């Protein structure tokens, strides 16, 4: 069964802390994505990766970085967390080469920055 | 940049009735896919239905169907015989980018409530 897992469902951090959100997929997908979900704004793409060590900025990359050292794992890093980064973070993966293939989502991490 | 618009932040429907969620999009691609995703409360986002733009026939998956109007760039989701388990946030999405590495552009979402 297809699976995307995220390291935490809920996370509370303090302003200025470095935060790591981890995502792992077991489907051997080339593409992985990090989205941020906010009410009224839908999902917005932060970063995506189409191969190991490859990454591309999405629509809202400011304040975030990513790491993909292994195919199955894609990490989102908040270098210095701020209160406006309080949000739901969703990870997704999909295979490459198929335009109509769906993205598979993780359960999400609800991050609160105090 | 591509945009996807869902103009209904919230919708409600009586159990067993039919409801239609609207979505419009804007793309310069000639061939593309459109997706509806469902996010139940505290559960993972899952794909409900997809439509390939060059296919004129509207996609159907059991009680879920789409009304795809390519010229109007409209892609609505119809849920027939609504069930309590259909209560969720629904997102319309369209891919953007090179084939195979496409990111999804999402609408703002519609929260659907099912009244028993």
Q: What is the pLDDT of residues A90-109, one digit of tens each?
A: 999 998 877 678 899 999 99
Instruction: Determine the average pLDDT of the residues in B32-36.
Output: 91
Binary contact (A43, B99; C-beta < 8 A) = no
| Count of other CB atoms within 10 angstroms of residue B75 | 28
Are A32 and A19 in contact, with CB atoms under 8 Å apart? no
Secondary-structure breakdown of chain B: helix, strand, coil percentages, each rounded to the nearest 5: 5, 55, 45
Residue pLDDT, tens place only, A3-60:
999 999 999 999 999 999 999 999 999 999 999 999 999 999 999 999 998 999 999 9
Spatial separation of the C-alpha atoms in residues A104 and A2, rounded to whole Å? 8
Which pair of tokens denotes residue B50? 């997809």
**Separation between Cα atoms, residue A57 and residue A38, nearest integer Å:** 19
Q: Mind telling me how many Å the CA of B33 is from chain A's nearest CA?
A: 6
* CB nearest B101 (choices: A42, A45, A50): A50
Is the CB of B47 inside 8 Å of chain A's CB atoms? yes
Res B84: pLDDT:
97
Over residues A61-77, mean pLDDT: 97
Q: Considering only CA atoms, which of A36, A99, A68, A101 is closest in space to residue B97? A: A99
The pLDDT-based confidence of B101 (bands split at 50, 70, 90) is low
What average pLDDT does the segment B5-25 reach? 97
Q: Sorting pLDDT into bands at 50, 70 and 90, what band is A78?
A: very high
pLDDT tier for residue B38 given thresholds of 50, 70 and 90: very high
C-alpha separations of B19 from A114, B36, B63 in Å: 40, 14, 11
Whether the Cβ atoms of residue A107 and residue B43 lie closer than 8 Å to each other? yes
What are the tens digits of pLDDT across the range B16-32?
Answer: 999 999 999 988 777 78
pLDDT, tens digit (0-9, with 9 covering 90-100), for B53-97: 888 899 999 999 999 999 999 999 999 999 999 999 999 998 876
Q: Tell me: pLDDT of B8 over 90.
A: yes
A7 dihedral zone (left: phi>0; alpha: psi -120 to 50; beta): alpha
Of B4, B31, B50, the CB nearest to A102: B50
CB atoms within 10 A of CB B115: 11
Pair B23, B107: CB distance under 8 Å: yes
Of the candidates A86, B58, B102, B59, which has an alpha carbon nearest to the alpha carbon of residue B48?
B59
Q: Among candidates B56, B59, B102, B65, which has minimal Cα distance to A101?
A: B102
Q: What pLDDT sits at residue B45?
A: 95
Q: Are A108 and B9 inside 8 Å of each other by CB?
A: no
pLDDT value of position B99: 54
Residue corresponding to tokens 């997929």:
A25
Residue the block writes with tokens 């077991």: A26
- For residues B113 and B111, what is the distance between their CA atoms, to the nearest angstrom? 7
């Amino acid at each position: 069964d297809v699976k995307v897992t995220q390291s935490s469902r809920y996370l509370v951090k303090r302003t200025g802390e470095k935060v790591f959100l981890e995502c792992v997929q077991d489907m051997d997908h080339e593409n992985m994505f990090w989205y941020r979900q906010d009410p009224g704004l839908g999902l917005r793409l932060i970063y995506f990766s189409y191969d190991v060590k490859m990454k591309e900025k999405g629509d809202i990359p400011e304040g975030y970085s990513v790491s993909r050292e292994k195919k199955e794992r894609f990490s989102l890093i908040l270098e210095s967390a701020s209160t406006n980064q309080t949000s739901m973070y969703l990870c997704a993966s999909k295979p490459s080469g198929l335009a109509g293939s769906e993205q598979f989502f993780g359960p999400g991490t609800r991050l609160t920055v105090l | 940049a591509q945009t996807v618009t869902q103009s209904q932040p919230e919708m409600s429907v009586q159990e067993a009735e039919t409801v239609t969620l609207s979505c419009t999009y804007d793309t310069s691609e000639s061939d593309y896919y459109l997706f509806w995703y469902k996010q139940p409360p505290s559960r993972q986002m899952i794909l409900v239905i997809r439509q390939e733009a060059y296919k004129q026939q509207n996609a159907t998956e059991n009680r879920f169907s789409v009304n795809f109007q390519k010229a109007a760039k409209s892609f609505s989701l119809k849920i027939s015989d609504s069930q309590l388990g259909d209560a969720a946030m629904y997102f319309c999405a369209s891919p953007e980018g090179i084939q195979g590495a496409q990111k999804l552009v999402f609408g703002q979402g519609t929260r659907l409530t099912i009244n028993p």
